[in-house]
Amino acid sequence: MVIEYSKRVFFAPNTSDQEIIDKAKKTLSYNGINEKDIQINYNTNDLEEGDLYISYDPPDLIIRNVYQKKNSGIIKMKSIAMIKL
């Protein structure tokens, strides 16, 4: 599966295990996301419309597209894919 994106890619791995983070980056790269575009970031307040937010929920990577950011700061996301790690 090729994941298309036009803006930033935030990855919140929810782990400090560097081996899992590296494996996740390689898996995402295989699915069309450039490793150089992936930012390790847990701060959802930094997200903007069009960004991807990826979280690690063992054993899956859950990929969400940010489709709306309200003035109040509420971020609306839609899951677009789940990838086994």
The verdict on residue 73 lying in a domain is yes
Q: Which residue has the tokens 């701060």?
A: 43
CATH of the domain at 38: 2.40.240
Q: Is 71 helix (H, G, I), strand (E, B) or coil?
A: coil
Q: Is 32 left (phi over 0), alpha (psi -120 to 50) or beta?
A: left
What total of structural domains would you count in the chain? 1
Confidence at residue 15, expressed as pLDDT on a 0 to 100 scale:
85
Please say whether the beta carbons of 8 and 52 come within 8 A: yes
Tens of pLDDT, residue by residue over 22-69, are 999 999 999 999 999 999 999 999 999 999 999 999 999 999 999 999
The verdict on residue 47 lying in a domain is yes
Separation CA 68–CA 62 (nearest Å): 18
The verdict on residue 38 lying in a domain is yes
Q: How confident is the model at residue 1 (pLDDT cuts 50, 70, 90)?
A: confident
The verdict on residue 70 lying in a domain is yes
The verdict on residue 33 lying in a domain is yes
pTM: 0.90
Confidence at residue 25, expressed as pLDDT on a 0 to 100 scale:
95
Q: Give residue 21's domain range.
A: 9-84
